[in-house]
């Protein structure tokens, strides 16, 4: 019995260490944040994977085909990325807005109020890197918006003040 406990006490920390040191995939992708900020910033995929991550758990998609579907994501909060270049006022975010350009060139306008709680998702709810399972390595997930407003492959977020 003692040998079993000793073996378990050695294996469990090793498994935790391996799980926590999972290397992100090598991806060429950048996100530019510019506009009405003190300083424009460019983040690579690797930059974003090194930042503190957040989880959105059991987010209701409000998808018309399956309105009660819930999904989970892991990524970096948009607030953290917007805080770096400075000048983004989330408190009066109702009048601030962002023009989000996707890798395909399409653009989407959302208020910063709509983007409260949003993340740049890197992993799905099962912990799989989007870069390994999807066409684009990241997704902008805004839990206050229906899932058809969650944007695949954002490459630029241009902030506009009132």
In a domain, 17, yes or no: no
Q: What angle do CA 88, 81, 57 make, to 5 degrees?
A: 110
- Judge whether 77 lies within some domain: yes
How many domains does one find in the chain? 1
Distance CA 101, CA 116 (A): 18
CATH of the domain at 152: 3.90.420.10
State the pTM of this model: 0.80
- pLDDT tens by residue, the chain, 162 residues: 555 555 455 554 444 434 444 799 999 999 999 998 888 999 999 999 999 999 999 988 887 787 778 899 999 999 888 887 665 655 554 588 999 999 999 999 999 888 989 999 999 999 999 999 999 999 999 998 888 889 999 999 999 987
User: Does residue 92 fall inside a structural domain?
Assistant: yes
13 in any annotated domain: no
In 3D space, the residue among 143, 146, 148, 153 whose CA is nearest the CA of residue 79 turns out to be: 143
d(CA 74, CA 70): 14
Is residue 97 in some structural domain? yes
- Please check whether residue 99 lies inside any domain of the structure: yes
Task: State which residues form the domain around 118.
Answer: 24-160
């Amino acid at each position: 019995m003692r040998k079993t406990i000793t073996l378990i006490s050695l294996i469990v920390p090793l498994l935790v260490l391996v799980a926590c040191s999972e290397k992100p995939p090598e991806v060429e992708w950048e996100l530019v944040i510019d506009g009405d900020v003190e300083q424009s910033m460019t983040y690579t995929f690797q930059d974003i994977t090194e930042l503190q991550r957040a989880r959105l758990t059991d987010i209701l998609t409000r998808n018309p085909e399956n309105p009660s579907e819930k999904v989970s994501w892991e990524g970096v909060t948009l607030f953290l990325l917007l805080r770096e270049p400075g000048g983004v006022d989330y408190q009066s975010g109702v009048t601030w807005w962002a023009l989000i350009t996707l890798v395909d060139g399409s653009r989407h306008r959302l208020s910063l109020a709509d983007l409260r709680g949003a993340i740049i998702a890197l992993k799905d709810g099962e912990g799989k890197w989007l870069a390994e399972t999807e066409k684009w390595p990241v997704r902008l997930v805004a839990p206050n918006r229906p899932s058809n407003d969650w944007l695949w492959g954002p490459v630029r977020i241009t902030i506009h003040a009132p």
